[in-house]
Amino acid sequence: MFSRLKNLSKVELLLIGAAAIILVASLVLHATYKDIFFSSKVSSEDVIARVVTSSNNTRRRSPESFEFKEIKKDDVLANGDYIFSGEGSQIMVKFQNGPRIMIGEQSLIVLRELDGNPDLKLEQGAISGAFEEGSEIEIMTEKEAVILNGEKDSQFYVSYLNGGGLEIGSFDRNIQLEYNGKKVSLKNQKATIFKSAGIKVKDTGTGEDSAKQPDQASQAPAPDAQPRMPSGLDVGTPNNAGRITLNPPYPQQNHVFIHKKGGQIPIFPKQQCQGSCELKLNVDGKSAVIKKFQRDMVPFIFLTVQPDIEAKIHWEFSDGSEVVSGDFQVRKNNKENFQDAFKRQLPVEIMN
């Protein structure tokens, strides 16, 4: 072979060398084609949101790509990204200039930002979220478009309806809805929106009225019951309670905390005690904790939850003649619990 090469002219050798280079380049290009032309990397100037939590079968497709790729916690998201959440999955994202958004299972959302505000296209499924202070969000389908805004930590949900309509719900804080120039305020209410019917609003029954309904967790314990925290739950008081950034009362009424590995849930009924005050916890209908605070103290505790624990908690706080109370649940992170909370339109927080 080498003897044959010696007999070739310089021109022939150059042509063979050029052909070899082209062949190697073609093989490299073929192997890296997707990475070069359909890169999943997001440049810093295009970032509009970040993944807070993500379960299995949640995927992203950039506007330049034809392929959905898996996304994980702390991944960044760009303007125009498609987000898909499969069966039994959900993903929470936090906009750099806007609210936190939970994308429910079997949903397809296009994330966009317009004039510095989130602009979402809901193609199927549902989302829920919580506003930051002064944030605004536009949500649209192929037929409808609404603008939502609310005070800090006010929560909402939006579901895609057959025919391209929307269902929008609020909880115990006001949400402002704007549709075709008409503005509506929602609090413990939901609204359906169709171009043919306009806006229709009705109460959800998840506010103060429902809190007055009898429930195992909200029943007062017997007078002789001794407080006792069940196994798998405990309470503590943080050292930096004076630096709390939550807005009391927290948790919200009928809040559902969903977890796999356990964690800590803050309970914060009031900014500061005006006199001697007291916080009581009932767990599954039984007295569990009585915590007293002195005047000017911050009435704040956290509930530590171990893995595999589920419970219904009722809290009651008294400061002189002032009495406030609320209920929340701790449930395992699985498809059934998430679907149940979403179906009942309850505020949900995924702990892990």
Tell me the per-residue pLDDT of 258-310, one tens digit each, with 9 for 90 and over.
999 999 999 999 988 888 899 999 999 999 999 998 887 889 999 999 999 99
Q: Is the pLDDT of residue 335 over 90?
A: no
The whole-number pLDDT of residue 191 equals 92
Longest dimension (CA), the chain: 109
Tell me the three-class secondary structure of 119-179, residue by residue: EEEEEECEEEEECCCCCEEEEECCCCEEEEEECCCCEEEEEEECCCEEEEEECCCCEEEEE
Q: Is the pLDDT of residue 53 over 50?
A: yes
Do β-strands 76-78 and 182-186 pair in parallel, antiparallel, or remain unpaired? unpaired
The whole-number pLDDT of residue 97 equals 79
- For residue range 151-197, list pLDDT tens digits in order: 877 888 899 998 889 999 887 788 999 999 899 999 888 999 988 78
Q: How far is CA 8 from CA 22, 103, 116, 204, 254, in A?
A: 20, 66, 66, 87, 85
In this structure, is the dihedral angle defined by the CA atoms of residues 250, 209, 192 and 61, taken in order, positive or negative? positive
Q: Is the pLDDT of residue 146 over 50?
A: yes
Q: Is the pLDDT of residue 329 over 90?
A: yes
Give the integer Cα–Cα distance in Å for 108 and 307: 31
Across the range 327-346, mean pLDDT stands at 88
The whole-number pLDDT of residue 13 equals 61
Looking at per-residue confidence, does 325 or 219 come out higher?
Answer: 325
Contact between 69 and 44 (Cβ < 8 Å): no
The whole-number pLDDT of residue 34 equals 47
Structure tokens at 341: 């909370």
Helix (H) or strand (E) holding 18: helix 10-37
Q: In angstroms, what is the C-alpha Rg of the chain?
A: 27
Prediction pTM value: 0.53
The whole-number pLDDT of residue 10 equals 66
Do β-strands 348-350 and 255-259 pair in parallel, antiparallel, or remain unpaired? parallel
- The DSSP code sequence of 56-120 is SSEEEE-TT-SS-EE--TT-EEETT-EEEE-TT--EEEEETTS-EEEE-TTEEEEEEEETTEEEE
Q: Is the pLDDT of residue 39 over 50?
A: no
User: What is the phi/psi pair of residue 261, to 5°?
Assistant: -110, 5
At 90, the pLDDT band (50, 70, 90 cuts) reads confident
